[in-house]
């Protein structure tokens, strides 16, 4: 039987973050009146004590584990040890405590950084174990993939119901626009908008622009996560993507056009490109979840650009 989220007590780790806020809004739209968000100041989920206290205080029926420590290429290069530890520790303690308390459902949000560096395009879930991830984000990706293995073991040994989704790169209003820790779309939007405001004649971009990426609008990702929570009871990996691919060069040119920036684009080939290509096969999501991305890329970019322009001062200082 599908999980009725409207009648469940749902904890959303990372619920105050970019993706988490949208997930919480969509839970409310589904009629869920008991949505709880553990704050980092109150519960350090990287510790056994913090995870135990969260379960004891909040008494969830369902846990949607969105919390993560993550960033762009620069942040991953600076924090490989921390990113492995924090993400592995949170999953380890939250899943073990879920078993102990007899949780109804645990949903783990994974990452496509778990895929091998040279995965054939489009990425299929069966390819997850065909090689080692791209080096700059491997610690984060391996930690998230280990959580899937843990859930599989716990389902087979203890009967813990769970699901595991792998969203492609997310973007949308409310994203992290910090130039060091953000991902490529918010960083490019901020660079272009600030260059326009400053009258700058160029922007600088990392790498060669040859790598490709796929991007998923945050509202579509949130819907996919909730569908998994409702209908999946086993942690079979499920891709969440928009089924398209764009090179970073073309992405930059599109954002330049949509923001109205008229200057030059200067590439720094001494900086890494990251994984060469990313594009997901989403047939499994359509089959198992009845889910498909609904937002066109250009429409999503326009909404994200409009949001940043309306909140640029606040976004630049708080992120």
Residue 71, pLDDT score: 76
Count of the separate structural domains present in the chain: 1
Q: What is the mean pLDDT of the chain?
A: 94
- Stretch 96-102: mean pLDDT, rounded? 98
Kindly name the residue from 55, 140, 154, 171 that is annotated as catalytic.
140
Residue 316, pLDDT score: 58
Any domain includes 264: no
Any domain includes 251: no
- Stretch 67-75: mean pLDDT, rounded? 84
Q: Above 90 in pLDDT, residue 276?
A: no
Residue keyed to tokens 């530890």: 85
Residue 144, pLDDT score: 97
For position 141, which CATH number holds?
3.40.50.720
Any domain includes 14: yes
- Stretch 52-75: mean pLDDT, rounded? 93
Any domain includes 177: no
What's the pLDDT tens digit per position in 101-151?
A: 999 999 999 999 999 999 999 999 999 999 999 998 999 999 999 999 999
Residue 289, pLDDT score: 98
Any domain includes 269: no
Residue range(s) defining the domain that contains residue 78: 5-170+216-243+278-294
* SS3 per-residue string spanning the chain: CCCCHHHCEEEEECCCCHHHHHHHHHHHHCCCCEEECCCCCCCCCCCHHHHHHHHHHHCCCEEEECCCCCCCHHHHHHCHHHHHHHHHHHHHHHHHHHHHHCCCEEEEECCHHHCECCCCCCECHHHCCCCCECHHHHHHHHHHHHHHHHHHHHHHHHCCCEEEEEECEEECCCCCCCCCCCCHHHHHHHHHHHHHHHCCCEEEEECCCCCEECEEEHHHHHHHHHHHHHHCCCCCEEEECCCCCEEHHHHHHHHHHHHCCCCEEEEECCCCCCCCCCCECCHHHHHHHCCCCCCCHHHHHHHHHHHHHHHHHHHHHHC
Residue 22, pLDDT score: 98
Any domain includes 252: no
Any domain includes 186: no
CA–CA separation, 200 and 261 (whole Å): 9
% pLDDT > 90, the chain: 87
Q: Above 80 in pLDDT, residue 72?
A: no
pTM: 0.92
Q: Above 80 in pLDDT, residue 275?
A: no
Any domain includes 221: yes
What's the pLDDT tens digit per position in 84-93?
A: 999 999 999 9
- Residue 312 has which token pair? 């640029």
Residue 74, pLDDT score: 80
- Stretch 227-255: mean pLDDT, rounded? 96
Residue 317, pLDDT score: 55
- Stretch 279-305: mean pLDDT, rounded? 97
CB 83 within 8 A of CB 143: yes
Is 115 catalytic? The answer is no
Q: Above 70 in pLDDT, residue 50?
A: yes
């Amino acid at each position: 039987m599908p999980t009725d989220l409207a009648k469940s007590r749902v904890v959303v780790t990372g619920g105050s973050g970019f993706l988490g806020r949208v997930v919480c809004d969509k839970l409310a739209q589904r009629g869920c009146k008991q949505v709880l968000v553990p704050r980092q100041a109150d519960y350090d989920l990287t510790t056994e004590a913090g995870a135990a206290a969260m379960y004891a205080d909040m008494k969830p029926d369902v846990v949607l584990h969105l919390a993560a420590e993550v960033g762009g290429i620069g942040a991953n290069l600076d924090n490989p040890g921390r990113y492995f530890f924090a993400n592995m520790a949170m999953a380890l303690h939250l899943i073990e405590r879920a078993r102990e308390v007899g949780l109804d459902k645990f949903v783990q949000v994974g990452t496509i950084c778990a895929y091998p560096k040279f995965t054939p395009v489009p990425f299929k879930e069966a390819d997850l174990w065909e090689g080692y991830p791209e080096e700059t984000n491997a610690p984060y990706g391996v930690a998230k993939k280990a959580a899937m293995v843990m859930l599989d073991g716990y389902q087979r040994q203890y009967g813990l119901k769970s699901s595991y989704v792998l969203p492609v790169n997310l973007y949308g209003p409310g994203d992290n626009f910090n130039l060091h820790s953000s991902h490529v779309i918010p960083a490019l939007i901020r660079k272009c908008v600030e260059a326009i405001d400053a009258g700058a004649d160029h922007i600088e971009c990392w790498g060669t622009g040859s790598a490709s990426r796929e991007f998923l609008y945050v509202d579509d990702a949130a819907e996919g996560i909730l569908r998994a929570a409702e209908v999946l009871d086993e942690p079979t990996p499920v891709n969440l993507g928009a089924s398209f691919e764009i090179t970073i060069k073309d992405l930059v040119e599109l954002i330049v056009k949509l923001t109205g920036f008229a200057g030059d684009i200067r590439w720094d080939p001494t900086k890494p490109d990251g994984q060469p290509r990313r594009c997901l096969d989403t047939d499994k999501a359509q089959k198992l979840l009845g889910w498909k991305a609904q937002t066109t890329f250009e429409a999503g970019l326009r909404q994200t650009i409009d949001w940043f322009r309306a909140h640029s001062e606040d976004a630049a200082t708080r992120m």
